[in-house]
Amino acid sequence: MTLSLVRAINEALRGALADDPKVVLMGEDIGKLGGVFRATEGLQKDFGEHRVLDTPLAESGIVGTAIGLALRGHRPVVEIQFDGFVFPAYDQIVTQLAKMRARSGGRLGLPVVIRIPYGGGIGAVEHHSESPEALFAHVPGLRVVSPSCASDAYWMLRQAIDCDDPVIFLEPKRRYYEKEPVDTTAPAATLHSVRVVRPGRDMTLVGYGPTVRTCLDAAAAAEEDGVSLEVLDLRSLSPIDFDGIEASVRRTGRLSVVHEAPVFFGAGAEIAARISERCFHHLEAPVLRVGGYHMPYPAGRMERDYLPDLDRVLDAAERTLAY
């Protein structure tokens, strides 16, 4: 069936609720309203208020009680309304959710999924456009993933809910309404693997979430100038499939990483460091990063200049290829 990314999320949640009576959804406005993006539309009606919880307005409370529910054998899937509002829950996520398994000598796994619509490009007001992935990927004990398309949204969410560790599930909100055919009978890939979304010869571009589309557009534009860019969808930020990236870079000899989050201490830095170690003798140029600047996400009327776009990606490609 052909689904938009947000509809694929809905289908995945529906499937998980139907398949496992221990799955519960929690969040603000997710029940009667169906979520501010309608990701949970119809689910409370079909599964009841005890499976789809409209919670009080308290993120720390939501994640804290999700931890308790998980300790009791449930599999909570939490919705945070917008990226900028996860921070009241950050304490629970970092000090409790991430560490419980280690603290319990490996005994207590917490199968909690935290879904966060993230990223900019929708002209929103403050706190509605952020990319906090590095703040989670830096924390041992959390798995961090981000689909870029409807198929991955469906399957990665199913896999995340099945996972016995906590998963931060970042949804690229500006891609919510992009549609594609989704095969709901079998997954195409495992949760943490890199996917080659466009093969190419001259250089590798790594994106994830909202920037995969940007990289694909850049690759299409570059082709007109006779430059062949390979595009990888990272899909997972913790763990990262470095083998998958390495295999590509060994072929192309060049790499840029593209994300919306600020470049400083971002995912691109980790990828650049590891790939430089692994592929030192194969690299023809330093690994470049394209991303946000070192400032709070700007007001909506400035975001076009802030977000990495096709031109910024091509600029990085040009600089890399000039070596």
Ligand X SMILES: Cc1ncc(C[n+]2csc(CCOP(=O)(O)OP(=O)(O)O)c2C)c(N)n1
56 binding partner (options other proteins, ligand X, none; Cβ < 5 to 8 Å by kind): other proteins
84, two tokens? 């900028």
The residue annotated as part of the active site, out of 50, 127, 128, 138, is 128
One DSSP character per residue, 20-71 reads -TTEEEEETT-SSS--TT-TTTTHHHHH-TTTEEE--S-HHHHHHHHHHHHH
Residue of 41, 61, 64, 85 interacting with ligand X (CB under 6 A):
85
259 φ/ψ angles, rounded to the nearest 5 degrees: -145, 160
Stretch that binds ligand X, among 81-89, 133-141, 186-194, 278-286 (CB under 6 A): 81-89
Residue in 22, 75, 65, 17 with CA at minimum distance from that of residue 42: 17
Give me the least distance between CB of 129 and other proteins, in Å please: 10
Catalytic, 259? Answer no
Residue whose C-beta lies closest to ligand X: 85
Please report whether residue 178 would count as binding other proteins according to CB under 8 A. no
Residue of 14, 22, 127, 251 interacting with other proteins (CB under 8 A):
127
The DSSP symbol for 93 reads I
Residue of 10, 40, 81, 129 interacting with ligand X (CB under 6 A):
81
DSSP-derived pairing of the beta strands 113-118 and 143-145: unpaired
Residue ranges in contact with ligand X by CB under 6 A:
28, 57, 59, 81, 85, 88
Residue ranges in contact with other proteins by CB under 8 A:
28-29, 31-34, 36, 54-58, 60-61, 84-85, 87-88, 123-127, 264, 293-296, 298-303, 305-306, 311-312, 315
